[in-house]
Amino acid sequence: MTTFAVFGTGSVGQCLAGRLSDLGNSVMVGTRNVADTMARTEKDMYGNPPYAEWLKNHPRVMTGTFKEAASKSDIIVNCTMGHASIDALQSAGAANLNGKVLIDIANPLDFSGGFPPSLLICNTDSLGERIQQEFPELNVVKTLNTMNAWLMVNPALVPGNHTVFVSGNETTAKTIVKGILNSFGWEETNIMDLGDISTARGTEMLLPLWVRLYGALQNPMFNFHINIAGKNQF
């Protein structure tokens, strides 16, 4: 059994924590202030129920501060809002992060100008890189950030082949993360390793396109499929 810390109590954190728990793992959801989180009664910006309501249906999932969750974890999953990710990780304490694998699902979305959002970081940098730079002894692996939360943990919701991207500097960490993706139902042939953490720039910059596709389709249950032509085709 693997022990996971899932940072973030929103819909993405709930999806990841619930799925990991259902697979038999020990899961603690990390938040800045547990009492404040449990006291919230309003739905989020997407209409999802508050965390306390979701938690009633997931009795095996524990809740703690970022520091408590990180200190008890083998693997950390970052599902916080991108603008707050580094601050949340700093709250956990570097000593509780060093040497561990961080699955970074967050995107640096900027809603200050309304909807659709722009990106706080892009082109020559990425949130994944900034986290890796801030915590050099943490093994950051960027993945699952280019799709709807429900699809992250259940790829069969979209029929046929479609692709999940992986970026990270450390080969062993990426192998561990690919194993977790397999447990969610992602087939090896649909997991595309893009290379080091700098390749997270590309996947984070897919988000403006994803948002506009969502608007055009009026349905979040879609994904990208990379179909490679045969060598003899050209």
Using an 8 Å Cβ cutoff, are 151 and 117 in contact? no
Give the residue, 195 or 232, on which the prediction is more confident: 195
Domain ranges of the chain: 3-233
CATH class, domain 3-233, is alpha beta
Question: Measuring CA to CA, which residue among 8, 36, 3, 12 is closest to residue 147?
Answer: 12
Q: Which residue has the tokens 């910059």?
A: 205
Give the confidence band of 209 by pLDDT, cuts at 50, 70, 90: very high
Q: What is the mean pLDDT of the chain?
A: 95
Task: Please tell me which residue, 230 or 161, carries the higher pLDDT value.
Answer: 161
Per the listing, tokens 């991108």 go with 82
Q: What is the pLDDT of residue 42?
A: 87
Residue 166 belongs to what H/E stretch?
Answer: strand 164-168
Residue 190: other Cβ atoms inside 10 A: 17
Q: Which helix (H) or strand (E) holds 176?
A: helix 171-184
Strand partners, 5: 28, 76
The per-residue pLDDT for 146 is: 98
What pTM does this model have?
Answer: 0.95
pLDDT of residue 114: 87
